Chain A
Amino acid sequence: MSEKKNWPLWEIFIRSKNGLNHKHVGSLHAADAEMAIENARDVYTRRMEGVSIWVVESEHITASSPNQSESLFDPANDKVYRHPTFYNLPDEVKHM
């Protein structure tokens, strides 16, 4: 083989137990999705850390850029009225 070809990189997401979200745990290389799941089981769940695995080829993930995070998150920045503490109520009012 003259041209060097490598297994692509996959991002691994694990649900640690039912009722919780899948959470990113790391990445690994695999030839295809099936192998990525098998490898993820061996690499990331050797001690019962998961009940479900998602694998996504890394190149298919679109990420926001840290350079733009200021403008991206800016719209939420000055909207304190979205939080309950913005509203003044007397202490006598209970259960609210």
Chain B
Amino acid sequence: MKAPTDYAHLEDQFQARIDAEEKIEPKDWMPDKYRKTLIRQISQHAHSEIVGMLPEGNWITRAPSLRRKVALLAKVQDEAGHGLYLYGAAETLGAERDDLLDELHRGEAKYSSIFNYPTLSWADIGAIGWLVDGAAIMNQVPLCRCSYGPYARAMVRVCKEESFHQRQGYEIMLTLARGTEAQKKMAQDALNRWWWPSLMMFGPNDAESKHTAQSMAWKIKRFTNDELRQRFVDITAPQAEFLGLTIPDEHLKYNEETGHYGFGPIDWDEFWQVVSGEGPCNRQRLKARRRAHEEGQWVRDAALAHAEKRRQRQAAKNDQKVA
């Protein structure tokens, strides 16, 4: 009957390490729930990077100039890299890459719901870089100080690389906003469609967020969803103003007293609908992911067979030398 007390004791020691801002490394003891929470969060984050390549990849061949095309290519390639850093971090917790991908392809794992919206015009690529990557950076910067070492280190790399993503997006918006009437209209239309889904990226309101309290105690999360969302609005509203575009929220207004922008209510019904698989592009995204994975199977098999053949040849050569 000693076991439960031992576990409680270990948990206390673990929490004391977290409270002292010590980092937790892969082989350290950790509560099962801490491990599970991290695997869930890191793999969802990885899936978001990988699925996030799809709406933008759609525009690589149609980028309006070579400059825009190389930038978008590099951005999408970064996202593949970010997905890999994150899958790697999840694997340090004992998760298998294949299981994580299977969960995604079976539709059981979540990823950021923002990627279930369509990219209808070139301006959407600008809006994604500016708003979606902007919101992602807001979420990710505090994760660089997350208590789990490998996740924190992956986020440092991701954040370094993502500032270019946001700048290239804003530059696209700026060019369109300073362009012809039609271009300006296109930019405004993209802002109209991406603004609210971007605010939803921070997740449910604090009162509704079931994981927040525990994640904050474990220092996986450093700020609540609402804190980060408010910071994003405060930073982004003046950027929209600079573009001469209008944020589609009649309640958006700077409050002199609080020093923050007030904003209107978020349509959480839409959010939960998209999360549960009923967004405009959920099926299309998963189908594209599955197809890419299935059609790549023969390449993965062939590479393994080739490596095995070379290993055997080398072994035979070594045997001959000995003989």
Contacts and interface: CB of A to CB of B under 8 A. Distances in A.
A47 interface: yes
Interface in B87-135: 88-89, 91-92, 97-98
Contact of A46 (B77, B89, B97): B77
B27 A32 contact: no
Given A6-B97, A63-B27, A35 B84 contact: no
Contacts of A56: none
Interface in A24-60: 26-29, 31-32, 35, 42-43, 46-47
B27 A66 contact: yes
B315 to A, nearest CB: 14
Nearest to B164: A47
Interface in A2-28: 4-7, 9, 26-28
B91 A66 contact: no
Given A6-B98, A7-B303, A66-B28, A47 B85 contact: no
A31 B27 contact: no
A65 interface: yes
Contacts of B256: none
B81 A27 contact: no
A66 B84 CA distance: 26
Contacts, number: 53
Interface residues of A, number: 21
A1 interface: yes
A65 B28 CA distance: 8
Contacts of A7: 300, 303-304
A27 B91 contact: yes
Interface of A: 1, 4-7, 9, 26-29, 31-32, 35, 42-43, 46-47, 63, 65-67
25 contacts: A1-B301, A6-B97, A6-B98, A7-B300, A9-B91, A26-B153, A26-B154, A27-B88, A27-B92, A28-B84, A29-B97, A31-B300, A31-B303, A31-B306, A32-B307, A35-B307, A42-B77, A42-B81, A43-B85, A46-B78, A47-B161, A63-B27, A66-B25, A66-B27, A66-B28
Closest 8 CB pairs of A and B: A31-B303, A32-B307, A31-B307, A27-B88, A66-B28, A26-B88, A66-B27, A31-B304
